[in-house]
Structure formats: structure tokens, C-alpha cells
Amino acid sequence: MLIDRLATASERETKIETSGFEFGSAIPKHWAANNPVITSFFNAVSSVIPEGEKFFIHSIRYYEKSITDPELLDAVKLFIHQEDCHSQQHHAMNDWLSSTGYPSLNIEDGLRKNLRLLQSHSSPDTQLAGTVAMEHVSTILSETLLNNPELSIRFHPEISRFFKWHSKEELEHKSVAYDVYQTTNPNYWHRVSKLIFVSLILLPAVAYIQLKFLLSEKQLFNVKAWSKAHWYFWVSPGYFRKMMPGYFSYYRNNFHPSDRDLK
């Protein structure tokens, strides 16, 4: 049952919060396959998560009091709890990245200002639709990582543990934002237009952050690293290639996040 699953997840989450993760000098700077380009991608993703999670929480919390389904309300509470923890843990990672020379905290500050501006100029239903779209991106990133152990086999063990933990929790609440959206003012074109927006604006922004990180450590023109990263993301194991079916499933009229389960 959903309630049992939520209770188990909540208990495990409390344990994780107590233990935390160890970011420090024991982790090499290029912790993903000893490759600066692969590493910088995941570092760039981490840099946008703290403020992104806060945006998601804000968009969901606006509708919390109007939810009448007790199971959905419990799911929303877990969603908020988990996303808040993710925000804190990724901020800790970003703080460590900053200590190694990456401008990760500057990225956080800039994103915070831009998201506050977006919140002040967009309606609650638009913010919620954007959250649904970004949660879908998070879901397929997480699903692909967990379904394909070869993607993280050359990660530093602590970073691997960290991203797998986050990925598992993303899949635990992957339907929550969508289900809240369906109880408000569901509209197919409004929903898919926000994924198009995310794809054309926000995802390239992550790529821009990645380039900034590489420039900061003078690795931007490391042709060998780029070549190996291209192989990793698009060929073998093919992280981005394997994400594509999940990405396009969002454009189905009868889409629901629960249609795709972890194998």
C-alpha cells in the first residue's frame, strides 16, 4: 500500500539525515571515471539542485491545503520532507565543490535570484506545471542511473552512494507533483509546454554551468576528456541515449509517472 511505502521511506530518510555523507579531501576532484567532463556534468546538476528543490517545495506547498485525498496529502508531506533533505545535502556537496575551486556557491546564489524572479512573474499553476516537468527529468535521470549500474561503476564510492540515495528517493515520490497537478487545473498542452521550456532553457543552462566549471579548472579544451565523455553519455554505457524513451513518454496524452517502474 502507498501508506506503508511512505512510512518505510520516511523511516529510512530519517536514518540518512542522521548519518549524512562525507564530502572532503578523500574524494578526488575528478571523481567520475577520472574524467573532468563527466564529473563536471554531475557537479553542474548538483549546483542547481538546492534552489531547484526549494522551488519545487514552494510550488507544491501552495496547493497543500486544498488537497482532500489523505493518501495524496501524506505523499505531499513526504515529498516536501525528502526534497528539503536533498536541498541540504546537495548544498553540502556544493560547499565542498567550492572548496576545491568550482564556483558552485555562486551558481546557487544566481539561481536563487532568477527563481525568485520567476516566482514573482508566473502563476502558481505555471510553477506547478514547471515542477511536474522538472520532476520528470529528475525521474528519468534517476531511473536510468539505477537501472544501469555500469553508469556509476567508476564513481568514487561515496559520491556513488550519494547519487543512488537521491535517485531512489526521486523514484519514491515521482508521481506526487503530477498527481497534485491533476487535482488542480490539468491541461495537456500546458503540461507539455513546460517540458519543452525546460528542455530549451533550463537544460542548456546546466550545460553552460558545466562549461563554467571546466573553464575554472582549465579543462574546457581537454579533447581527450570530451571524447571519452561523449562515448559515456551517448554510446556506452550511453546515459543520455538510454534516457530518451523515458523523456519522450511525457508527451503522451495518457502519460502518468507510475507507468515507468524501476526494473
Residue type, 86: H
Nearest to 180 by CA among 64, 95, 38: 64
The pLDDT of residue 263 is 56
The pLDDT of residue 15 is 42
Mean of all residue pLDDT scores within the chain: 92
What is the CA angle 229-230-233, rounded to 5? 80
Nearest to 195 by CA among 126, 142, 122: 126
d(CA 234, CA 129): 29
Q: What percent of the chain has pLDDT over 90?
A: 88
CATH code, residues 32-259: 1.20.910
Q: What percent of the chain has pLDDT over 70?
A: 92
Least confident of 215-219, 252-256, 259-263: 259-263
User: Are the beta carbons of 179 and 68 closer than 8 angstroms?
Assistant: no
Q: Domain-by-domain residue ranges, the chain? A: 32-259
pLDDT (mean) for 139-160: 97
pLDDT (mean) for 188-215: 96
User: Following DSSP, what letter does each residue of 32-86 receive, concatenated?
Assistant: BTT-HHHHHHHHHHHHHHHHHHHHHHHHHHTTGGG---HHHHHHHHHHHHHHHHH
pLDDT at position 19 over 70: no
d(CA 45, CA 251): 24
User: Are the beta carbons of 151 and 145 closer than 8 angstroms?
Assistant: yes
**Residues 29-83 pLDDT 10s:** 999 999 999 999 999 999 999 999 999 999 999 999 999 999 999 999 999 999 9
d(CA 53, CA 131): 9
The pLDDT of residue 97 is 97
